[in-house]
């Protein structure tokens, strides 16, 4: 598909998802060769009408140069003129193709250089060849063969032409566990995390709006964190499509082989992120096999502070960091001492390939994560806002890139920066249900 047509579809994605009636189009799209039967069956299996509309629009971008005008024809033929006009307004008027002649004059074959691609319009001919002009009718010009309109034939079905989408239409969509550690025992030398309750309240509202069953646990010790994760893994998730875990706590670096970092219980010891994800992988939680498992970690990844680098004035934006920003970090050595050998062995020995898992970190491995005592953490503030504004139209990975960009603009004390990131092992696009 031409880039111009792709951009028109992308700009109007929201309207297509909201108003398109995919079921009315399937037969015509099949007849016109835009999609094969296998592709239509996969679009139908993607979920609700909105999910099917979204998948149809995504797949349409992969279907060649004639897919867009044929799609417009299908919209007009099925009474969806409003959408057709909306898409037409985003491009130059389509000129109708001339009808094929009854008696076409066969053009003379021209010799071409071996180093040039074979093309009937190619002007690279041998100088020694005398070419007589082709006599054509004096009335309507005859289009050359490659200019003639021919309906594209469906290509052989050998592979999927675009990324699929996770099924996300169960109601409720799934469980969301939020662990919010605010007040830490004096002996562990960790400051209380003032402002974390604001983060927990924001994310509780947000995931309830996305149709999740939300449970918030506050001030959990190391063993209590593991107990809650174990209880979540033992639930029957067969009727749900997704599972979410949010960790709000102090954090640190630990040795790892897949997911970096660890989060502290209020008594001091820290649970490695790779162990947290291990509870819900396909081996330990069979009812979540093949379903997305999402982990959001608001905690430091270490003790380093990033001072950033200078950018051009075009890249610079006003920072919104405040004077009362705090970090969620402690030195690596104390956290490493708090982890028993059995914990690290357990995490390494039982962690299989982490398919369908995404871990979103508030900061880069090794660096601090900033939290405002009055407004909450930078990362959660942006995550909540981006989900609110874009969950109806964009997939999760795209939204997390938006979060990365927004958080990267902040500065603590006018100096320190923060860069969120993700470890993404999802196999498909993930679109949340429209906020309720």
Select which of 74, 285, 300, 431 is catalytic: 300
Sheet containing 262-264, strands listed edge to edge, beginning at the edge strand earlier in sequence = 251-252, 262-264, 270-272
Give dist(CA 109, CA 131) in Å, integer.
10
User: Residue 74 catalytic?
Assistant: no
Give dist(CA 278, CA 276) in Å, integer.
5
Give dist(CA 412, CA 415) in Å, integer.
6
Q: How many angstroms from the chain centroid is the CA of residue 362?
A: 17
Cβ–Cβ under 8 Å, residues 339 and 272? yes
Give dist(CA 212, CA 174) in Å, integer.
5
In sequence order, which residues have a C-beta less than 8 Å from that of residue 120 and are 6 or more positions away? 107, 110, 144, 145, 146
In sequence order, which residues have a C-beta less than 8 Å from that of residue 161 and are 6 or more positions away? 39, 59, 62, 63
Select which of 237, 250, 256, 431 is catalytic: 250
Length of the chain: 436
List, in sequence order, every residue forming a beta bridge with 165; answer none if it has no partner. Answer: 429
User: Residue 300 catalytic?
Assistant: yes
Could you give the residue numbers annotated as active site? 250, 300
């Amino acid at each position: 598909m031409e880039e111009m047509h792709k951009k028109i579809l992308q700009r109007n994605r929201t309207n297509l998802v909201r108003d398109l009636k995919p079921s009315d189009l399937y037969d015509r799209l099949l007849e016109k060769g835009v999609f094969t039967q296998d592709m239509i069956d996969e679009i139908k299996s993607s979920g609700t009408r909105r999910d099917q509309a979204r998948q149809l629009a995504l797949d349409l971008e992969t279907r060649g140069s004639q897919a867009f005008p044929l799609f417009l024809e299908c919209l007009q033929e099925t009474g969806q003129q409003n959408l057709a006009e909306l898409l037409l307004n985003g491009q130059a008027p389509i000129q109708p193709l001339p009808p094929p002649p009854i008696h076409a004059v066969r053009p003379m074959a021209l010799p071409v250089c071996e180093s040039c691609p074979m093309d009937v319009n190619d002007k690279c001919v041998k100088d020694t060849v005398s070419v007589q002009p082709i006599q054509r009718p004096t009335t309507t010009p005859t289009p050359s063969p490659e200019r003639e309109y021919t309906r594209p034939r469906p290509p052989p079905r050998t592979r999927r032409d675009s990324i699929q989408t996770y099924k996300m239409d169960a109601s409720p969509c799934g469980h969301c566990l939020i662990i919010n550690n605010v007040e830490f025992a004096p002996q562990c030398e960790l400051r209380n995390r003032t402002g974390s309750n604001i983060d927990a309240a924001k994310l509780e509202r947000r995931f309830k709006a996305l149709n999740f069953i939300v449970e918030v646990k506050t001030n959990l010790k190391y063993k209590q964190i593991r107990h809650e994760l174990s209880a979540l893994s033992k639930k029957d998730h067969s009727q749900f499509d997704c599972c979410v875990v949010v960790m709000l706590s102090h954090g640190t670096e630990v040795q790892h082989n897949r997911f970096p970092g660890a989060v502290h219980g209020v008594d001091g010891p820290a649970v490695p992120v790779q162990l947290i994800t291990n509870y819900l992988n396909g081996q330990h939680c069979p009812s979540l096999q093949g379903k997305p498992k999402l982990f959001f970690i608001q905690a430091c990844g270490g003790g380093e502070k990033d001072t950033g680098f200078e950018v051009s004035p075009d890249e610079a934006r006003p920072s919104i960091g405040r004077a009362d920003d705090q970090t969620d970090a402690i030195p690596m050595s104390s956290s490493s001492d708090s982890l028993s050998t059995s914990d690290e062995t357990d995490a390494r020995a039982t962690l299989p390939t982490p398919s369908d898992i995404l871990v979103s970190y508030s900061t880069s491995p090794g660096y601090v994560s900033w939290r405002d005592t009055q407004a909450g953490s930078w990362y959660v503030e942006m995550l909540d806002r981006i989900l609110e504004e874009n969950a109806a139209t964009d997939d999760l990975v795209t939204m997390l890139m938006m979060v990365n960009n927004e958080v990267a603009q902040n500065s603590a004390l006018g100096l320190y920066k923060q860069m969120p990131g993700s470890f993404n092992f999802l196999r498909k696009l993930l679109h949340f249900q429209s906020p309720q």
